[in-house]
Every structure is written in structure tokens, then in C-alpha cells.
Amino acid sequence: MGSRPQFSPQTLSVLAALFEQPSAWRHGYALARQTGLKSGTLYPILIRLADRGLVEACWQEEPVPGRPRRHLYRLTADGLATATAALAEAEPARAKARPGVSPRGGRGIAAPSVP
């Protein structure tokens, strides 16, 4: 019996985007641009990842004057380990996929090299 993939392609793309700079805080719009996901898809994924303790979130401490504070995200230590394993596991499938195109037609991302 084949094992069910742990993450959907969309979730993997979010993990991959966060994985590129694991220590950096990223905001939602940047992640959306990088993954090609719409806000209605991206945020539920971030919520699920945060619920599982794979992503941590915080509010920007020094917002740009005249702008609201932004919500920032990055991988936790657990998230980093999980992303490493999940991306490594998904690598063969991603390699087969047409380069630069995500399964849902969004802008694809290059799979990071897994350390």
C-alpha cells in the first residue's frame, strides 16, 4: 500500500518558499507572489502549518508609518525538519513535473537544495 503524501503541492510550495530563508520573517504577500497562490489558498495553509507548530507567526514590531502592522511568518525548528524531509521526499515528483509550472497553474518555484 502506497503512503499518502503528507502535504499537498500547494503546501509544499509554501514550505519551500519559507525554507529558502529559514531564519527570515516573511510576509503573506511575498509568499503569495513567490508561490503563485491566492490569498484564499495561502492563508488557510499557513493557519494549518501554524496549528501543527511548523510555522510561527508574529506581528511586525515597527510598521511603516501610515501602514498597518504586517503579519510575519517563518519556519519553526520542527517546521524546518519537516520541510527538509517533505521536500526531499517530494523532489523526484517535482523533478518530473514541468519546470516552472505548479500543478494548479500557479507560478512554480524551484525546489531548494535540501541540505
Looking at residues 46 to 105 of the shown chain, list those that interact with other proteins (rule: CB under 8 A): 46-48, 51, 57, 59, 67-71
Closest CB to other proteins among residues 20, 27 = 27
Instruction: Answer for the pair 48, 74: CB distance below 8 angstroms, yes or no.
Output: no
Rounded to the nearest whole angstrom, what is the least distance from the CB of residue 92 to other proteins in the complex?
31
Dist CA 13 CA 108 (whole Å): 8
Sheet strand arrangement including 71-75: 26-27, 71-75, 55-59
Binding site for other proteins (CB under 8 A): 27-29, 32, 38-44, 46-48, 51, 57, 59, 67-71
